[in-house]
A and B are shown apart, each in its own frame.
Chain A
Amino acid sequence: MTKPENTSPAVEAAGPIFDYEMMIQEDKVHQRLYTEPGIFREELTRIFGAVWVYLAHESQVPEKDDFVTSRMGLRPLIIVRDSQGDIRALYNRCTHRGSTICRQSSGSAKSFQCPYHGWSYFNSGKLSGVPWPEGYACDFSDAKYNLAQVPRVASYRGFIFGTLNLDAPSLGDYLGPVREPIDDWLDRHPGGKVKFSSANRLKYMGNWKLAYDNSADGYHVLFSHRSLLAMENRHNEDEQKGMSFYRGSPDGAPMYVKYYPNGHHFKDKRPNIENRPGALWEIEGTFPGMEHYEALFRERYGVNADRALDLASSEPVNINVFPNLHILGNHVQVTQPISYNETDTTWYGTAVVDDDGELSGAVDDINTIRMRTQEAFPNFGEVDDLANFEQIQAGLAAEEDEWVYMHRGLGIKDRITEEDGVFTAPATDEVFMREYMKVYKRLMTTTPNIAITREV
């Protein structure tokens, strides 16, 4: 690769024009963070250009020449495993006139040709040729004609991230202790991995941060998901299904919320459940084929049936990696900002892979029912959250009523513990919002050292 190429200073704003010091306070943030297009524009550089952004999963590009399109903020990217086997994040932007060169969401290609004037690129990003080169006086071996690329791309156990910021820490340091719940989540599967399936793709007309505010929020569950909880428990008298442990006094339950450095957060509901095979399955809500498959599993897999059924059941965790990756239940949810008030939220289903035959043939049966268990929340839970996000966006149009409060738990003695920058609090605490907003404020008031690279 060439030396990183810094972007032109003329493009980069000299400094923040918004007063983030005023807008982000200890107990509250200003409504403008959600409603101001200019702030969104700054986030595209200061957040989505400055930190490690989740781009794709390695199971989406398993073979050489496989690609999937993605975005970093609004930048269109092609995530490709090139012909040498290296994973790259190419800018999906012809160096000639700027058109996107790849318009398929996924596939396999050794090269990409721009549909507009036919410039072609190898999947390493290098220009392979232009039509009628004799009409040019320039030297096309100059690296500037090769596709721009994200200069730093790295994977953590299958999750591919990239950053434009040359001064960002390593991916491992950026993730820090949030790797522990990610490891746990992966390690419950054979081989410590999953593969992506198809997705439940949703959209809401609201700011992307509304999703990030929500993803470790234990305070909304009983209210926003009231209809889902009622539905999940309509057939059983003890009402133990799904997220029922939020009933009564959720802050007294063993579950907790954790905040990790760099904006990541984690809601861990596992302590509510006994740590034994079959315990997860017991709280799984009903789904098509449930009773049949349980009987079948017990017959086919005997003593291993409980483990197999647990693998089809939703893992009760919400692991949130700032700014756009969420591991929720068995889903990998990716938040994609479209504008200050439009956001796509894509819930990738995940499937179990069993390369070493650890599950003695149960893997296909597990995945068959795991597909069904994963359809419940997007259909009956997420739609209500998204309706509420849209109504927050609508409510925030009341400009003079400036503040959004996130002070639940603040100032209460012995409620929140802190060690090495990791905060732990009862499940409905908003400490994770207050802390990630501090990181957000630091990022929004810092000019990142942004660069792109090109192949030579």
Chain B
Amino acid sequence: MQTVDGSIHTPHYIDDEYYQKLVSDFSGWRRADREVTDPVFRDSCRRFLDLEARFLDEGRLEDWLKLYAPNCVYWVPSSAEGGDPRKEVSISFDDRRRLEDRIFRLSTGAAWSQRPTSRTVRLISNIEVYATDQLEIVMVRSNFQTTEFRAGETRLWSGRYNHRLRDVGNEYEILVKQVNLINYDQNLRNPSIIL
């Protein structure tokens, strides 16, 4: 695995306003009247999620990170459906820089929790797409099941993804990926893969 390009261009966007918007964007968005049922549109979201899963399964972490917006967040809450990250420690709460750090750490060869590296297969299903107040932004809810094989053992991670995606022309970029593990409140063994 190669290291990510060390340069960091994004301004430090995590501020009060960001947190407020994040909490508000992730509450009450799943409204029946906003569900996008158009199969072509929904399929374009599905294909994008599949691509993200494939990059992770193939260990192509730099390509994976390119799917994310410059001011992105990768968020694995420690409470049901998120809560307020200003008041709670999350299982993970990474901005762009911390994601780059995460990938850098995995590339050092000394991240013992990933020596040997996990092999993973991700299944994503039950995709629902919801419109938001902004035309170019959608929320995509999906179920995931990730099988992880590492050091002779096979384990399962399951839960729901909530992706906040922005349509940037021919493709999407991920503004926020929220990973809601079904066992978010339990003691987790070696949670060192990117979910």
- A pairs with B: yes
What residues of chain A lie closer than 8 Å to B186, measured between beta carbons?
Answer: 201
Find the residue from A203, A289, A364, A374 having the highest chain B CB count within 10 A. Answer: A289
Contact B88 A197 (CB under 8 A): yes
| In the complex, chain A residues 268-287 whose Cβ is within 8 Å of any chain B Cβ | 286-287
- Given A288-B94, A289-B15, A291-B12, do A344 and B112 touch, yes or no (CB 8 Å)? no
Closest chain B CB from A60 CB (angstroms)? 14
What residues of chain A lie closer than 8 Å to B97, measured between beta carbons?
Answer: 286, 288
Whether A397 is near chain B, meaning CB under 8 Å from some CB there, is no
What residues of chain A lie closer than 8 Å to B190, measured between beta carbons?
Answer: 204, 383, 386-387, 390
Of A200, A228, A346, A347, which is within 8 A of B105 by CB?
A228
Whether B78 is near chain A, meaning CB under 8 Å from some CB there, is yes
What residues of chain B lie closer than 8 Å to A364, measured between beta carbons?
Answer: 86
| In the complex, chain A residues 348-378 whose Cβ is within 8 Å of any chain B Cβ | 349, 351, 364, 367-368, 371-372, 374-375
Contact A379 B92 (CB under 8 A): yes
- Given A288-B14, A351-B87, do A231 and B112 touch, yes or no (CB 8 Å)? no
Contact B88 A371 (CB under 8 A): yes
What residues of chain A lie closer than 8 Å to B108, measured between beta carbons?
Answer: 226-227, 230-231
Closest B residue, CB atoms, query A372: B93
| In the complex, chain B residues 86-119 whose Cβ is within 8 Å of any chain A Cβ | 86-95, 97-98, 101-102, 104-106, 108-113, 115
Contact A200 B87 (CB under 8 A): no
Q: How far is the CA of A448 from the CA of B115 in the complex (A)?
A: 43
Whether A292 is near chain B, meaning CB under 8 Å from some CB there, is yes
| In the complex, chain B residues 1-37 whose Cβ is within 8 Å of any chain A Cβ | 6, 8, 12-16, 18-19
Contact B105 A380 (CB under 8 A): yes
Q: How far is the CA of A292 from the CA of B91 in the complex (A)?
A: 22
DSSP class of A's interface residues: helix, strand, loop or mixed?
Answer: helix
Q: How far is the CA of A375 from the CA of B16 in the complex (A)?
A: 18
What residues of chain B lie closer than 8 Å to A293, measured between beta carbons?
Answer: 15
Q: How far is the CA of A391 from the CA of B150 in the complex (A)?
A: 13
Find the residue from B79, B97, B187 having the highest chain A CB count within 10 A. Answer: B187
Of B92, B93, B110, which is within 8 A of A227 by CB?
B110
Whether B189 is near chain A, meaning CB under 8 Å from some CB there, is yes
Contact B112 A203 (CB under 8 A): no
What residues of chain B lie closer than 8 Å to A205, measured between beta carbons?
Answer: 189
| In the complex, chain A residues 385-399 whose Cβ is within 8 Å of any chain B Cβ | 386-388, 390-391
What residues of chain A lie closer than 8 Å to B44, measured between beta carbons?
Answer: none
Contact A344 B187 (CB under 8 A): yes
Closest A residue, CB atoms, query B88: A198
Q: How far is the CA of A403 from the CA of B190 in the complex (A)?
A: 27
Closest chain A CB from B159 CB (angstroms)? 15
Q: How far is the CA of A279 from the CA of B127 in the complex (A)?
A: 49
- Given A228-B105, A230-B110, A286-B101, do A371 and B12 touch, yes or no (CB 8 Å)? no
Interface 1/0 per residue, B122-157 and A, CB below 8 Å: 000000000000000000000000000000000000
What residues of chain A lie closer than 8 Å to B12, measured between beta carbons?
Answer: 289-292
Interface size class of A (residues with CB under 8 A): 35 or more
Q: How far is the CA of A241 from the CA of B3 in the complex (A)?
A: 20
Closest chain A CB from B89 CB (angstroms)? 4
Number of interface residues of B (CB under 8 A): 46
Q: How far is the CA of A411 from the CA of B186 in the complex (A)?
A: 44
Q: How far is the CA of A199 from the CA of B186 in the complex (A)?
A: 10
Closest chain B CB from A397 CB (angstroms)? 13
Contact A199 B89 (CB under 8 A): yes
Contact A349 B105 (CB under 8 A): no
Q: How far is the CA of A235 from the CA of B89 in the complex (A)?
A: 24
- Given A200-B78, A367-B86, do A288 and B98 touch, yes or no (CB 8 Å)? yes
- Given A234-B104, A368-B19, do A201 and B187 touch, yes or no (CB 8 Å)? yes
Contact A367 B189 (CB under 8 A): no
Q: How far is the CA of A335 from the CA of B25 in the complex (A)?
A: 36
What residues of chain B lie closer than 8 Å to A386, measured between beta carbons?
Answer: 113, 189-190
Whether B185 is near chain A, meaning CB under 8 Å from some CB there, is yes
Closest chain A CB from B77 CB (angstroms)? 9
Whether A339 is near chain B, meaning CB under 8 Å from some CB there, is no
Whether B168 is near chain A, meaning CB under 8 Å from some CB there, is no
Closest chain A CB from B177 CB (angstroms)? 14
What residues of chain A lie closer than 8 Å to B13, measured between beta carbons?
Answer: 292
Q: How far is the CA of A237 from the CA of B189 in the complex (A)?
A: 34
- Given A234-B6, A288-B97, A375-B92, do A387 and B112 touch, yes or no (CB 8 Å)? yes
Closest B residue, CB atoms, query A286: B97
Closest A residue, CB atoms, query B78: A198
Q: How far is the CA of A126 from the CA of B13 in the complex (A)?
A: 55
Q: How far is the CA of A22 from the CA of B111 in the complex (A)?
A: 37
Whether A214 is near chain B, meaning CB under 8 Å from some CB there, is no
Contact A371 B89 (CB under 8 A): yes
Whether A303 is near chain B, meaning CB under 8 Å from some CB there, is no
What residues of chain B lie closer than 8 Å to A344, measured between beta carbons?
Answer: 187
Of B78, B101, B188, which is within 8 A of A203 by CB?
B188
Contact A384 B112 (CB under 8 A): yes
Closest chain B CB from A268 CB (angstroms)? 24
What residues of chain B lie closer than 8 Å to A453, measured between beta carbons?
Answer: none
Interface 1/0 per residue, A191-218 and B, CB below 8 Å: 0000001111111110000000000000
Nearest 4 pairs between A and B by C-beta?
A: A289-B14, A349-B89, A288-B95, A226-B110
Which B residues form the contact surface with A (CB < 8 A)?
A: 6, 8, 12-16, 18-19, 73, 78-79, 83, 85-95, 97-98, 101-102, 104-106, 108-113, 115, 185-192
29 A–B pairs (Cβ distance < 8 Å), ordered by A: A198-B78, A198-B89, A200-B78, A201-B78, A201-B186, A202-B187, A203-B188, A224-B112, A226-B108, A227-B105, A227-B110, A289-B12, A289-B18, A289-B95, A292-B15, A336-B187, A346-B187, A368-B19, A371-B86, A372-B14, A372-B93, A375-B90, A375-B92, A383-B111, A384-B111, A386-B189, A387-B112, A387-B113, A391-B112
